[in-house]
């Protein structure tokens, strides 16, 4: 199954598996076991964050897996309180120490916090981490077009990707078009909507699921793959982990893709990044 997951080239060089595994809201006490299971099932892309309080457990799972470090793509993120306190270098080193896997593949600014107004200065420090080689790529999360425009106008390195809320009812078409113009990949942190709407409520997804003998969740993830979006679904059970990975034996037709694209509701399910300016 691992060999079936496409790898996408980031503008800073590394290849990222297009389908990964997220650990947002995974209990730290269960994280090592959950990530070990995901790696056994076939995931080779793990997404965590300092704010998830489970970096150490992710690192322990990777070390226990027996897999080569270079075969696993690992992302973590700068926590808002460390960002706000201008503790960027300290936060970065603590993430490296907690994970204890030698280096990062991708380090992200978790939220722009525009009213704090420090993300450009933070990014300049990120550029230093990239230059020193302790991370292979740097990017952002939850950035809107004005945030990206300012960042690119005032710094030297274009973000490798932008991890945002993205799913069939909030497709972020304008943001994705802007990012395509600048070589910034789109990554979905809520590819299945985080349970905020029923997966079987969209007729186009139901119809495609019935046509291909797949679940609505599998159709949604397949839509992300064919749209060129990187996706990091979360699943606690081994059964769901395997099901989310089992999306490479079918292809949505152009008509099915168009029907899902037409289901875009044009509104967020989660918070607007402009409104996140604290821990």
Q: How many Å separate Cα 255 from the centre of its chain?
A: 27
Task: Name the E strands within 114-193.
Answer: 138-141, 161-164, 185-188
243 membership: H or E segment, kind and range: helix 238-245
- Residues 158/182, Cβ–Cβ less than 8 Å: yes
Annotated catalytic residue, options 52, 92, 107, 119: 52
Of 272, 275, 227, 277, nearest to 247 (Cα)? Answer: 227
- Residues 52/26, Cβ–Cβ less than 8 Å: yes
Q: How far apart are CA 152 and CA 158, in angstroms?
A: 6
Q: How far apart are CA 11 and CA 183, in angstroms?
A: 6
- Residues 75/104, Cβ–Cβ less than 8 Å: yes
Task: Write the burial class of residue 28 (CB in 10 Å: 0-12 exposed, 13-18 middle, 19+ buried).
Answer: middle
* Long-range Cβ contact pairs of 123-127 (< 8 A, separation 24 or more): 123/151, 123/155, 123/157, 124/155, 125/88, 125/89, 125/92, 126/88, 126/157, 127/155, 127/156, 127/157
Q: How far apart are CA 252 and CA 3, in angstroms?
A: 20
The β-bridge partners of 48 are none
Can 119 be counted among the known catalytic residues?
Answer: no
Active site residues: 52
């Amino acid at each position: 199954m691992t060999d079936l997951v496409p790898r996408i080239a980031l503008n800073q060089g590394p290849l990222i598996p297009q389908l990964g595994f997220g650990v947002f809201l995974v209990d730290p006490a269960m994280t090592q076991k959950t990530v070990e299971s995901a790696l056994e099932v076939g995931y080779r892309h793990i997404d965590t964050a300092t704010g998830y309080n489970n970096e150490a457990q992710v690192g322990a799972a990777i070390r226990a897996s027996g897999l080569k470090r270079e075969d696993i793509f690992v992302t973590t993120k700068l926590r808002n309180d460390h960002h706000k306190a201008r503790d960027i270098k300290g936060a970065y080193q603590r993430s490296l120490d907690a994970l204890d896997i030698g280096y990062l593949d991708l380090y992200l600014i978790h939220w722009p916090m525009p009213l704090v107004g420090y993300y450009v200065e933070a990014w300049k420090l990120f550029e230093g981490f990239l230059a020193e080689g302790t991370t292979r790529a740097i990017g952002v999360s939850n950035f809107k077009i004005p945030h990206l425009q300012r960042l690119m106008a005032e710094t030297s390195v274009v973000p490798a990707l932008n991890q945002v809320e993205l799913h069939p009812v909030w497709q972020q078409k304008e943001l994705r078009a802007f990012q395509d113009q600048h070589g910034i990949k789109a990554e979905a942190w809520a590819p299945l909507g985080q349970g905020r709407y029923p997966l079987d409520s969209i007729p186009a997804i139901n119809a495609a699921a019935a046509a291909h003998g797949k679940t609505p969740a599998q159709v949604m993830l397949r839509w992300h793959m064919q749209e060129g979006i990187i996706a990091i679904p979360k699943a606690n059970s081994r059964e769901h982990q395997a099901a989310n990975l089992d999306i490479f034996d079918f292809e949505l037709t152009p008509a099915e893709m168009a029907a899902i694209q037409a289901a875009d509701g044009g509104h967020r399910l989660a918070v607007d990044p402009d409104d996140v300016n604290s821990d």
